[in-house]
A and B are shown apart, each in its own frame.
Chain A
Amino acid sequence: MKKKWVSASLVLVMGASLLAACSNNGGGNTPPANTGENTGTPEAPAKQTFTFLNYSNPSWPYDENWPIWSYLEEATGVTLDIETPPGGSLEDTLALTVASGNLPDLLFTFTKPLADKYGQQGALVNILDYVDQMPNFKAWMEEHPAAVQSAIASNGEMYIFPNQGIGETNRMIWMYREDVFSEHGLEQPETWDELYETLKELKQLYPDSYPLTFRSGLRYLMNFGASFETVGSMNADLSAVYYDFDKEEWVYGATEDNFKTLVEYMNKFYAEKLIPPDFLTVDTKLWQDMMSTNRAFVTLDYVGRIDFFNSALRAENPDFNLNFMAPPAGWDGGARKNAFTQVSQEGFMISSKTKKIDDIIKFMDFFYSEEGRTLVSWGKEGESYKEENGAKQFIETFTDVSDMRKKMGLSTDGTYIWFDYDAHISLASPELKTAYEQGPQYDSEQQPIPAFTAEEQEVLSTVGDALNKNRDENISKFIIGERSLAEWDSYVAEQNKLGVDKIVDTFTQAYDRTMNATN
């Protein structure tokens, strides 16, 4: 009982750092960048090995015999000596590794705030110090300013290599059961009013169903909100703040009138049982169950779920067809948008203690070349892929992306940075390909992610946390009907009193600093 693993990991971290404290001489000074000197042609790259703390995904566990490693070795001469988290959690392992002071040359992280934190504590190299040694990266930075900006820490330094391409896998879209819709002569709804009518008809046809079902409780309200022109996050530990590109300022989303309109719809859906009564606790499993047993017909989730459901369920029901649905507009003539979720924060970090910094920099630069991009996305021409009429195609037939990952190691964590997403699309079913084609026209603009200083972070975890909690509690109650929507104004007042301004100011301040640092 007790907070078993919480205190256990704390104890471990502390214990480890006690030991570490003795051997640590407070490193963290980045060696001065030596410029020039990077001239030799890369004909026969010198063989070398870097240690690398990487993640091993249980769905495609790390395999040292994957072809990707030999491709990389051939191209760069580098062999990666990989350790993976023993207990499974990369975050905990990173904390322990940093606290032990015994850092591998390269480290991997899923979240950028972690890179910023350890970077500012002195454990990681500031990549910007070495840009002059990376011709490919330098050119890439000019082409991808948004990606670069989102990799900058609050002090203007960069501790994680920015990525591009794989974020597409996080695209989230509306989906509907095309077979059920056409069977009953239903049309894709174009507005939320039409959505309401359609769901009601479905409910009549299938009384046991909850036609609109989604998982993760309130979180997807952010995605629904896109068509209501409000996109504040509804994630329990993130503030509902977003950047309004028209007004050019940060706005608090969860108290806006547009957001209220969305909540009113949800309240109506809840009352008429168009969404599950326990939508707050619908987890992935329950959601999958409902989707696959004709108890839900419209949903919103990651784009890859199209193939996930179709390929699993067509065995029993050949007509089963989950397909891309255009987001309904919040009101007549309103915008039809999906929230922009096509981002991935993960990436490589370089230890400040490494002795091979120049070689590592050269290695990392390879990932930002066209050659590197093709290699990590497709593998080797003639061996793993071929090119016909300008379109690349894998030679082996894979059933899906995870099959390809398991066999080739391509696009597994820590093997790529700049990614050609066509490699994944080439393995998709026709329905999924359509979704990828249709999706972008409904994209919202990508939200900037400002980097916060330690002080700002403290504001977010005190004032911000209280605000988020009050927000989630009340929005849930409004939807369930435990609190009347007539009290919306007093909810707004409560939120303001808890410090909406403070949070908006914090975001504005952090954003301005980032903008000043990169422009």
Chain B
Amino acid sequence: MHPADRAMPVFKKDSFARKWGRSKYLLLLFLPTLLYFILFKYVPMFGVVVSFKDYNLFRGIWESDWVGLKYYRMFFESPDFFKLIRNTFLLGLYKLVFGFPAPIILALLMNELRHMMFKRFVQTVSYLPHFISNVVVVSMLTLFLSPSSGLINQLIEGLGLDAINFMAREDMFRSIYVLSEIWQHVGWETIIYLAALTAIDPQLYEAARMDGASRWKQMLHVTLPGIRAAIIIVLILNVGNVLEIGFEKVFLMLNPAINGTADILSTFVYRTGLTQGNFSYATSIDLFTSLINLVFILTANWISRRVSETSLW
């Protein structure tokens, strides 16, 4: 919440009936969302109990035997435990470090455009990749980067250099993933910043111009502070998702030569939990991941509240 909200004067207490009468249509509008969250987000949460049980599909959750922390222990003792955490964390971190500023920069650039038609055009084109499915994106990557027939390697070979087997190089995986991820989503993610930009009072720019501020200075001292709240909220949310990396794309890109960097928690869950029908094991790993994410988001929120007075709650 904006700090100003807390300073709002307290109005005289309304009667329940009045409040009801005033907001019943709003509440009606809210109802589907509420139902959605209860049905699809809160009720299934009870499902985490299977991670403490030897889940027997036929007997159901309650009839299954309790096994305590067995599946957690199985995961912690797995020889790949640290490697998986490291791979997932690093991939998420790179995505955050490079992927987070990208839409801000793009939004600022678009904000400077004066030609409306051109601006709309750039906006639309930059949204498009967001609607391409991951399966297609990975096929495109494989085709473009193929060392035998790929466009990129033909260019490299045209320059007289040796073809690079991009998709089979451990050290390339994270870069390819993060770059393609930015290409896919940068346009889409500018929306929130562009919305925040429209809320900046044009008088501020006028005043700045009067004082002789250049375009650069205006951006630094008017635009950026204007969208600071949006930036910080998005950052906190992203920090909470560092370990939540889309399964599909990594899974599709995965091949044995890059196991060392590309095998992450979700591909591991898929392989050892779901393909073998071991739902308990899969759930325990997911719950563990969620706990770590929770720690991240709480920490980020706490730091942000201390430093900038902007926070989620």
Cα distance A4–B244 in the bound complex, in angstroms: 11
Cα distance A462–B148 in the bound complex, in angstroms: 36
Cα distance A101–B57 in the bound complex, in angstroms: 9
Of residues 110 through 140 on chain B, the ones whose CB sits less than 8 Å from some CB of chain A are none
Cα distance A518–B272 in the bound complex, in angstroms: 30
Give the contacting residue for A457; candidates B142, B168, B276; CB below 8 A. Answer: B276
Give the contacting residue for A10; candidates B77, B79, B279; CB below 8 A. Answer: B279
Of residues 244 through 270 on chain B, the ones whose CB sits less than 8 Å from some CB of chain A are 244, 246-248, 255-257, 259-260, 263, 266, 268-270
B63–A237 CB distance below 8 A: no
Asked if B180 is an interface residue, CB under 8 A from chain A, the answer is no
Asked if A186 is an interface residue, CB under 8 A from chain B, the answer is no
A6–B61 CB distance below 8 A: no
A101–B47 CB distance below 8 A: no
Contact A278 to B167, CB < 8 A, known contacts A10-B283, A18-B46, A461-B272: yes
Of residues 28 through 51 on chain A, the ones whose CB sits less than 8 Å from some CB of chain B are 28
Q: Kindly list chain B residues whose C-beta atoms are within 8 Å of the C-beta of A99.
A: 57-58, 60
B271–A98 CB distance below 8 A: no
Asked if A218 is an interface residue, CB under 8 A from chain B, the answer is yes
State how many angstroms separate the Cβ of B282 from the closest Cβ of chain A.
7
Asked if B214 is an interface residue, CB under 8 A from chain A, the answer is no
State how many angstroms separate the Cβ of B257 from the closest Cβ of chain A.
4
Cα distance A286–B50 in the bound complex, in angstroms: 42
Q: Kindly list chain B residues whose C-beta atoms are within 8 Å of the C-beta of A283.
A: 142
State how many angstroms separate the Cβ of A230 from the closest Cβ of chain B.
18
Contact A11 to B266, CB < 8 A, known contacts A122-B59, A461-B272, A480-B168: no
Q: Kindly list chain B residues whose C-beta atoms are within 8 Å of the C-beta of A67.
A: none
A281–B259 CB distance below 8 A: no
Asked if B222 is an interface residue, CB under 8 A from chain A, the answer is no
Contact A473 to B74, CB < 8 A, known contacts A21-B63, A463-B79: no
**Category for how many chain A residues contact B:** 35 or more
Say whether chain B's binding surface is mostly helix, strand, loop, or mixed.
helix
Cα distance A26–B257 in the bound complex, in angstroms: 46
Chain B 270-285 per-residue mask, 1 if CB under 8 angstroms from chain A, else 0 = 1111111111011100
Contact A236 to B59, CB < 8 A, known contacts A276-B148, A480-B168: no
Asked if A61 is an interface residue, CB under 8 A from chain B, the answer is no
Chain B 43-64 per-residue mask, 1 if CB under 8 angstroms from chain A, else 0 = 1101100100010111111110
Which of B47, B256, B273, B281 is the most central at the interface, judged by chain A CB atoms within 10 Å of its CB?
B256
Contact A236 to B256, CB < 8 A, known contacts A15-B47, A280-B168, A466-B80: yes
B78–A217 CB distance below 8 A: no
Asked if A493 is an interface residue, CB under 8 A from chain B, the answer is no
Contact A480 to B256, CB < 8 A, known contacts A26-B59, A113-B276: no
B257–A461 CB distance below 8 A: no
Give the contacting residue for A3; candidates B148, B246, B283; CB below 8 A. Answer: B246
Q: Kindly list chain B residues whose C-beta atoms are within 8 Å of the C-beta of A465.
A: 78, 80, 268, 271-272
Asked if B103 is an interface residue, CB under 8 A from chain A, the answer is no
For residue B48, which residue of chain A has the nearest CB?
A14
A28–B79 CB distance below 8 A: no
Number of interface residues of B (CB under 8 A): 55
B63–A6 CB distance below 8 A: no
Asked if A62 is an interface residue, CB under 8 A from chain B, the answer is no
Give the contacting residue for A26; candidates B63, B142, B255, B286; CB below 8 A. Answer: B63
Asked if A388 is an interface residue, CB under 8 A from chain B, the answer is no
B256–A476 CB distance below 8 A: yes
Say whether chain A's binding surface is mostly helix, strand, loop, or mixed.
helix
B40–A237 CB distance below 8 A: no
Asked if B194 is an interface residue, CB under 8 A from chain A, the answer is no
Cα distance A99–B64 in the bound complex, in angstroms: 12
A6–B263 CB distance below 8 A: no
Of residues 86 through 122 on chain A, the ones whose CB sits less than 8 Å from some CB of chain B are 91, 95, 98-99, 101, 113-114, 117-118, 121-122
Cα distance A95–B167 in the bound complex, in angstroms: 35
Q: Kindly list chain B residues whose C-beta atoms are within 8 Å of the C-beta of A498.
A: 79
Cα distance A480–B281 in the bound complex, in angstroms: 34
State how many angstroms separate the Cβ of A91 from the closest Cβ of chain B.
8
Give the contacting residue for B78; candidates A218, A466, A477; CB below 8 A. Answer: A466
Asked if A131 is an interface residue, CB under 8 A from chain B, the answer is no
Asked if A475 is an interface residue, CB under 8 A from chain B, the answer is yes
Chain A 1-16 per-residue mask, 1 if CB under 8 angstroms from chain B, else 0 = 1111011001101110
Give the contacting residue for B148; candidates A28, A217, A277; CB below 8 A. Answer: A277
Cα distance A236–B268 in the bound complex, in angstroms: 12
Asked if A418 is an interface residue, CB under 8 A from chain B, the answer is no
Contact A462 to B58, CB < 8 A, known contacts A11-B47, A281-B167: no
Cα distance A280–B259 in the bound complex, in angstroms: 12
Cα distance A123–B142 in the bound complex, in angstroms: 43
B246–A278 CB distance below 8 A: no
Asked if B93 is an interface residue, CB under 8 A from chain A, the answer is no
Cα distance A87–B60 in the bound complex, in angstroms: 22
A277–B272 CB distance below 8 A: no
Asked if B198 is an interface residue, CB under 8 A from chain A, the answer is no
A473–B147 CB distance below 8 A: no
Of residues 136 through 152 on chain B, the ones whose CB sits less than 8 Å from some CB of chain A are 142, 146-148
State how many angstroms separate the Cβ of B182 from the closest Cβ of chain A.
14
B60–A280 CB distance below 8 A: no
25 CB-based A-B contacts, threshold 8 Å: A4-B247, A6-B266, A7-B286, A14-B50, A15-B43, A18-B43, A18-B46, A21-B63, A24-B58, A24-B60, A99-B58, A101-B60, A122-B58, A122-B59, A123-B58, A237-B271, A277-B163, A278-B147, A278-B168, A457-B278, A462-B79, A465-B80, A466-B79, A476-B256, A476-B257
Instruction: Please name 15 further chain A to chain B contacts, defined as beta carbons within 8 Å, in addition to the given A18-B60, A476-B168, A482-B257, sorted by A numbering.
Output: A11-B47, A15-B44, A26-B59, A28-B58, A99-B57, A118-B58, A121-B57, A122-B56, A210-B148, A280-B168, A286-B146, A454-B54, A461-B273, A462-B78, A465-B272
Which 6 A-B pairs have CB atoms at the shortest separation, nearest pair first? A472-B256, A14-B47, A21-B60, A476-B257, A277-B147, A123-B58
Show the binding face of A for B, using Cβ within 8 Å. Answer: 1-4, 6-7, 10-11, 13-15, 17-18, 20-21, 24, 26-28, 91, 95, 98-99, 101, 113-114, 117-118, 121-123, 210, 217-218, 236-237, 276-278, 280-281, 283, 286, 454, 457-458, 461-463, 465-466, 469, 472-473, 475-477, 480, 482, 498
